[in-house]
Amino acid sequence: MSVRFTGDLLGVRQRDSVFSGEQIHLRRDGHHAVIVELSGGVREYEVRGRRLLDGYGEDEMCSGARGQLLVPWPNRLRDGRYRFDGEEYQVPLSEPEKGNAIHGFLRWESWTVAERGDDRVVMEHTLHPRAGYPFALHMSVEYQVSCDGLSARVTATNLGSRPCPYGMGVHPYLRVDDESLELSWLEAPGAVRLLTDEQAIPVGTEDVAGTPYDFRTRTRILGTKLDTAFTELTRDEQGRAWVRLWRGRGDYGVGLWMEHYPYYMLFTGDTLPDRARRRRSVGVEPMTCAPNAFASGQGLVTLAPSESVTTSWGITPLGTP
């Protein structure tokens, strides 16, 4: 006798995607964001039909870390090795071609919905101790759409009985229509860029003044290739640092703001496996610490038992198409 299992029997809701899990739609005042179970990330965001993110489809596997949350470290960790509180640790190499561990553990984990409304959702995940990271973290991210845009508030809490190392990032790709980046203009707040070696690990710094990496005023991207981290950020009166991508000379665009993130990465996608996605958007990665921070300590957060830390970022439309 044959038995046919339905999606419900398997515990999979029919509305879910096999690629990114449950799809949570947030809507308000013409704004529409899709938050997904996978990574607790943002799959897409649009305003009145205008796409602000270069996301991915419901029937696609996420590539290039687009929209994913990067926990408990963003970016790269050389050789997957670090020392903390007098002990040596080794984590799996998730970027073996460069000999690095990249973007933490939670990109491919399921997050659960803790609270939900028409324009708001809270996603949660508990990172249990594991080989290479014997610490416990509770993660919570609150997303909300409003007339001002999409906002995200991320909180990490140390559930363990001893201090733990922590870093966090997020990886949306900003896009203005279907325009090539060569025709787009960029504003970004970093006064200093991080110089890297062949493993893309920081080995020094450089003031961006007078270099092709100075985007502190609106600058045409042209052929500039970016896979570059920046720090020493200019902030507004609210304490926010902004990255803005403009169509043409700036009639409209998209902006990403960040609070309590002292670093960010810009990525023009030149090395993405899918050639059709190259140089059509800018990956903007707010980071609480520098790449390789678990090893270097640069910007690393140490959470005491029961201590929490909260950071915020958001995306907003600029101008009128």
The answer to whether position 186 is within a domain reads: yes
Would 2 be classed as within a structural domain? no
Supply the pLDDT for residue 219.
Answer: 94
250 domain-assigned: yes
β-bridge mates for residue 44, sequence order: 34
> Comparing C-alpha atoms, which of 208, 179, 194, 189 is closest to residue 256?
189
d(CA 176, CA 282): 10
Q: How far apart are CA 299 and CA 118, in angstroms?
A: 36
Tell me how many domains the chain contains. 1
For position 11, what pLDDT does the model report?
45
Q: Which of 189, 274, 298 lies closest to 234 in space, CA to CA?
A: 189
**Distances 203 to 104, 121, 197, 226 between C-alpha atoms, Å:** 21, 39, 7, 17
Query: CATH code at 242?
Result: 2.70.98.10
Residues contacting residue 249 through CB under 8 Å, at least 6 positions apart: 185, 218
Q: In this structure, is residue 14 part of a structural domain?
A: no
Distance between CA atoms of 134 and 171, rounded to whole angstroms? 25
Quote the pLDDT of residue 180: 76
Domain of 291 in residue numbering reads as 23-319
265, β-bridge pairs = 229, 285
Per the domain annotation, does 7 fall within a domain? no
The DSSP secondary structure of 85-130, one letter per residue, reads TTEEEE---SBTTTTEEESBSGGGSB-EEEEE-SSEEEEEEEE--B
**Quick check: is 94 in a domain?**
yes
Residue 39 lies in a domain: yes
Residue pLDDT tens, the chain, 321 long: 444 444 444 444 546 889 999 999 999 999 999 999 999 999 999 999 999 999 999 999 998 999 999 999 999 999 999 999 999 999 999 999 999 999 999 999 999 999 999 999 999 999 999 999 999 999 999 999 999 999 999 999 999 999 999 999 999 999 987 767 888 999 999 999 999 999 999 999 999 999 999 999 999 999 999 999 999 999 999 999 999 999 877 688 999 999 999 999 999 999 998 888 899 999 999 999 999 999 999 999 999 999 999 999 999 999 876
Closest among 302, 273, 306, 305 to 289, alpha carbons compared: 302
Task: For residue 233, tell me if it sits in a domain.
Answer: yes
pLDDT at 321: 66
Residue 128: other Cβ atoms inside 10 A: 12
What is the rounded CA–CA span in Å between residue 271 and residue 256?
23
How far apart (Å, rounded) are the C-alpha atoms in residues 255 and 149?
10
Q: What pLDDT score does 121 carry?
A: 98
Predicted pLDDT at 15: 60
